[in-house]
Amino acid sequence: MPAIAHAVQRCIAHQYIHLHHAVCRKDPAAPGALSPDQTNFLDNVHVYPCATQVVEGALMFTLYTMTAYCPITRRWWLVKKRYSEYHAFRQQLDNLWVHCELKMKNDSLTAMLRTIMKLPFPRKVYNGDSVFIVKERIRLLEHFLRKLMALHAECFYYAYQKLKLDEPLSPTFHAFHTLLQTFLGVPEDMLDLRAMQRLLNLAMDKPAAVDASETCSICLSSFDETEGEAVVQLSCSHLYHRDCVVSWLIAKKSCPLCREDVDSGSVL
């Protein structure tokens, strides 16, 4: 009986929180940890959303591919997920959000989760992926991913301030941060918060320079001929126009020059 009573109590609390935020006219704003330049970068960067029908044995499903970015380190990587993976991840976030609202309501982590849980999310359907459903999911999942990218960066600032004040990071934050990084598929050298700080310092101390006379090996145009077009460096160090190489990597997942397996890089 105690276990059942606890489950019922938690369910009621969960429904109360959702009802409360549904009727509130305005929730407290989430802390704005990102700078205006970083926010503008995330709002305007092209994530190249696309949907591909995949067949594995007797299963057929839609794979949604988008490009994730870190506005702090200017790194980027590909995120390839099924809708079911997005849905399961959001359910995990929902459970964590309920815990935070009940146990740490005034913490800025709760405000971050509140922001992401208020976003519209594509509904689950059981009669196959029609063209309309896929288009709707691309639109909403792109917006959802953009917010996750901002949330990932805000986690860095949240943890940085805590560590700066010698305050311990809560187990809830560690659970959330691990969940977010795992879902986004963050590159290994960005998984540790201190490693991210080192990457940030390196980018600030030695900003990468682009030789304008170099040529993009995909479109064969020199970088000075396409001034204003974003240039990226792959993990293998080769340079390309962002629009050219992302389209290539979605299909090939290897550097056009050295054929090394890559799915991440830096925006220069």
pLDDT of residue 246: 82
Note whether 98 and 142 are same-domain residues.
yes
Summarize pLDDT for 156-180 with one digit per residue, the tens. Answer: 888 878 877 888 888 999 899 999 9
Closest CA to 199 of 186, 185, 211, 210: 186
CATH number at residue 76: 3.30.1520.10
Let me know if residue 246 belongs to a domain. yes
Task: List phi, psi (to 5°) of 152.
Answer: -60, -40
CATH number at residue 220: 3.30.40.10
Classify residue 114 by its DSSP letter. Answer: H
Of the listed ranges 38-47, 119-128, 137-146, the one predicted with least confidence: 38-47
Closest CA to 105 of 168, 186, 187, 16: 16
Note whether 87 and 211 are same-domain residues.
no
Note whether 244 and 137 are same-domain residues.
no
Let me know if residue 166 belongs to a domain. yes
Note whether 212 and 124 are same-domain residues.
no
Task: Please give the average per-residue pLDDT across 198-214, as a whole number.
Answer: 58
Note whether 12 and 101 are same-domain residues.
yes
Chain mean pLDDT for the chain: 79
pLDDT of residue 262: 82
Let me know if residue 192 belongs to a domain. no
Let me know if residue 241 belongs to a domain. yes
Let me know if residue 230 belongs to a domain. yes
Amino acid 102 reads: L
pLDDT of residue 19: 39
Closest CA to 233 of 251, 205, 201, 260: 260
Give the confidence band of 13 by pLDDT, cuts at 50, 70, 90: very low
Let me know if residue 237 belongs to a domain. yes
Residue 180, domain extent = 2-25+33-187
Let me know if residue 217 belongs to a domain. yes
Give the confidence band of 44 by pLDDT, cuts at 50, 70, 90: confident
What distance, in Å, lies between the first and last C-alpha atoms of the chain?
60
Note whether 141 and 213 are same-domain residues.
no
Let me know if residue 196 belongs to a domain. no
Q: How many folded domains does the chain comprise?
A: 2
Note whether 91 and 138 are same-domain residues.
yes
Q: How far apart are CA 159 and CA 107, in angstroms?
A: 12
Classify residue 229 by its DSSP letter. Answer: S
Note whether 40 and 125 are same-domain residues.
yes
- CA torsion sign for 80, 157, 45, 228 is negative
Summarize pLDDT for 225-262 with one digit per residue, the tens. Answer: 666 677 888 888 888 888 888 888 877 778 888 888 88
